[in-house]
Amino acid sequence: MKSHMLASLALASMALPAMASAHDGSTPIIAPGNTALTVSAEGKSTRKPDLALFTAGVTSQGSTAGEAMSTNSADMSRVIAALKKAGIADRDIQTSNLNLNPVYAPQRQLPDGTIEPAQPRIVGYQVNNTVSVKQRNLNDFGKVIDTLVTAGANQVNGPSFAMDNPDAALDEARVEAMQKARARADLYAKAAGMKVARIVSINESGGYAPPMPVMYARAQSAGMAAPAPPIAAGEVELNASVTVVFELAP
- Give the Å distances, CA to CA, from 87 to 51, 84, 115, 230: 14, 5, 52, 19
86 contacts 147 by C-beta, under 8 angstroms: yes
Domains of the chain (ranges plus CATH)? 51-105+118-165+211-234 (3.30.70.2970)
- As a whole number of angstroms, the distance between CA 58 and CA 152 comes to 7
Average pLDDT of the chain to the nearest whole number: 82
Which residue type, as a one-letter code, is found at position 247? E
- As a whole number of angstroms, the distance between CA 78 and CA 70 comes to 13
Task: Note the pLDDT tens digit of each residue in 152-175.
Answer: 999 999 889 999 999 999 999 999
Task: Note the pLDDT tens digit of each residue in 113-151.
Answer: 677 666 778 899 999 999 999 999 988 888 898 889 899
Using pLDDT thresholds of 50, 70 and 90, give the confidence band for residue 224.
Answer: very low
**What pLDDT is attached to residue 55?**
94
Strand duo 195-205 + 93-104: pairing: unpaired
Vertex 116: Cα angle to 115 and 121 (nearest 5): 115
Statement: the pTM of the whole predicted model exceeds 0.95:
no
Flag whether pLDDT at 3 surpasses 50.
Answer: no
Strand duo 51-62 + 122-135: pairing: antiparallel
